[in-house]
Chains A and B, each alone.
Chain A
């Protein structure tokens, strides 16, 4: 039978079919590298376009006045809608995370995790339909309806993000306080939650970043807010950034496009800085927990 090494004392350069295999392997390595370069290039291209075209539109007036000279109503509207949505989702999400780590049995936790993953996977346009049916049907659009939809989007993100960090809180911390007869609720509130605070904030910031750019539900729920004056009443429809960009893209008017790039730059800067900052914070708080 052939196949042994013909000559073990030969120089250690590729023998047999190895040269061909090495070339193929190199090609796949280059291809994988090229794929990564491609993804980064697309990101760079999108960001570059938004920055280079958007920067021209942005000045103090653009941020502080109403349409058509500025976009203040949309910025304020988005801030209000996202703030209310977060105010709903954050406590719920944190409580769910506490339930998952501190109370749930394995079956309950499994069911809850499946639920959160399903919620996370539901297309956001469907959430728009749902909240429309629940709050808008036969009534009228409102900023609040938009907030409810965004809250459903944020909920699984905050719950899973918080749970990840709560899991890192060492059991010894819980046991130490329970061994001393401290009640569960006290140890959760005074020991577990504070040490996970960084993670909770991170999860919330990431959820806010995601919600701020979410467009689909708002088209159904808060798309007719006034553009020419700043309004703050969430029981009325509120102008907002994503729907505004969406409408500009539908209109096909070059001046509108210029405004669109400008406001897109504001939105994308907020989102990218928020997510980068949140990730840095998360890395820090995980390190802290790991070392404690």
Chain B
């Protein structure tokens, strides 16, 4: 692969041509594909063209006896940003974390139905958890940089993967990709814990894209940040769009409206055979539709702020 870390977004930094592919439509498209879908260039080179990355089929999740999520069916498409919105406790984070098996270590975790990733059952019997997470990266709600230098935070995962050649370029590209390079290039050896919250979160994104995953899962990545840092993260998502399939959980509807192509609305809903309402997928559609012509009245109440 000649890869997709395009740091040139919005900056006039010289970038070697061989690592230049599409950003979000800024760089010239290659491989003859349209700019919007070239995030999938990799697979297309190999002759695969199914643009469904995740296919969740009637997925239910239990923690012990407690059912946390009921029968979610949805398809997440390649190169798009898919937002999961809804009130707290509605299972959206639980669903997100089940996409790369981060829930496995929770005691009592159990899943019914299935989640296919490029057609493979993520919870299949011979699936390697580590391989799953290598392809499907995740950024968490609270910035969690390692207590290491800025450079080592980004270089850590590539080193594990044996990607030691051109490591410095890789780190630089990842930091540029996360729109952090200019702020930290003179202090790469300083501790990452000295960065501001917004910078730490962008560092975590840089860390995730340094190994060029297929999918990025973002769990309320801006909820712990101030509005300016939040804006920076949103800009960043626009610039990453196309290169990665992105799934983002957010409780901020404007954010979903600004960044997402498709939006899924989760909420607590009565489920047959359960006493209490359970987290369920209410509606999933183009973001435009969800916010302007939602089909379900509950979605309409939520997006217009009449909820609760």
Contacts and interface: CB of A to CB of B under 8 A. Distances in A.
Chains A and B touch (C-beta atoms under 8 A apart): yes
Interface in B117-157: 117-120, 122, 124, 126-128, 130-132, 134-135
A290 interface: no
A189 B22 CA distance: 74
Nearest to A12: B127
A4 B131 contact: no
B219 interface: no
Nearest to B160: A21
B213 A12 contact: no
A8 B118 contact: yes
A243 to B, nearest CB: 49
- Taking residues whose C-beta sits less than 8 angstroms from the other chain, chain B's interface range is 35 or more
B130 A22 contact: yes
A251 interface: no
Contacts of B173: 1
Nearest to B165: A2
A106 interface: no
Interface in A1-32: 1-9, 11-18, 21-22
A6 B211 CA distance: 12
A20 B119 CA distance: 26
A14 B43 CA distance: 18
Interface in B1-26: 1-5, 18-19
Contacts of B5: 1
Contact of A13 (B48, B119, B127): B127
B3 A18 contact: no
B1 A12 contact: no
B76 to A, nearest CB: 13
B166 interface: yes
A3 B163 contact: yes
Contacts of B306: none
State the main secondary structure of chain B at its contact with A: loop
How big is the A interface, by class?
10 to 19
B55 interface: no
A18 B130 contact: yes
Interface string B62-80: 0000000000000000000
A13 B131 contact: yes
B128 A14 contact: yes
A6, A11, A14 interface centre (most CB from chain B within 10 Å): A11
A52 B18 CA distance: 75
Contacts of A5: 1, 42, 134-135, 212-214
Contacts of A7: 42-43, 46, 48
B211 to A, nearest CB: 7
B132 to A, nearest CB: 6
B136 to A, nearest CB: 9
Contact of B19 (A1, A12, A13, A16): A1
A4 B170 CA distance: 11
Contacts of B18: 1
Given A12-B120, A12-B132, A14-B131, A1 B46 contact: no
A21 B131 CA distance: 11
Given A8-B43, A9-B119, A12-B120, A3 B131 contact: no
Contacts of B131: 12-15, 18
A9 B169 contact: no
A20 B41 CA distance: 29
Given A3-B211, A4-B1, A9 B126 contact: no
B128 A22 contact: yes
A17 B117 contact: no
A9 B132 contact: no
Given A9-B43, A18-B128, A4 B119 contact: no
B48 A17 contact: no
Nearest to A13: B128
B171 to A, nearest CB: 12
A12 B117 contact: yes
Interface of A: 1-9, 11-18, 21-22
21 contacts: A1-B2, A1-B166, A1-B170, A2-B3, A3-B1, A3-B158, A3-B161, A4-B42, A5-B134, A5-B214, A6-B42, A7-B42, A7-B46, A9-B43, A9-B48, A12-B120, A12-B132, A13-B128, A14-B130, A15-B134, A17-B162
Interface of B: 1-5, 18-19, 42-43, 46, 48, 50, 53, 117-120, 122, 124, 126-128, 130-132, 134-135, 158, 160-163, 166, 169-170, 173, 211-214
Given A8-B43, A12-B117, 16 more contacts: A1-B2, A1-B5, A1-B169, A1-B170, A1-B173, A3-B3, A3-B170, A4-B4, A4-B212, A5-B135, A5-B213, A7-B42, A7-B48, A9-B118, A12-B127, A22-B130
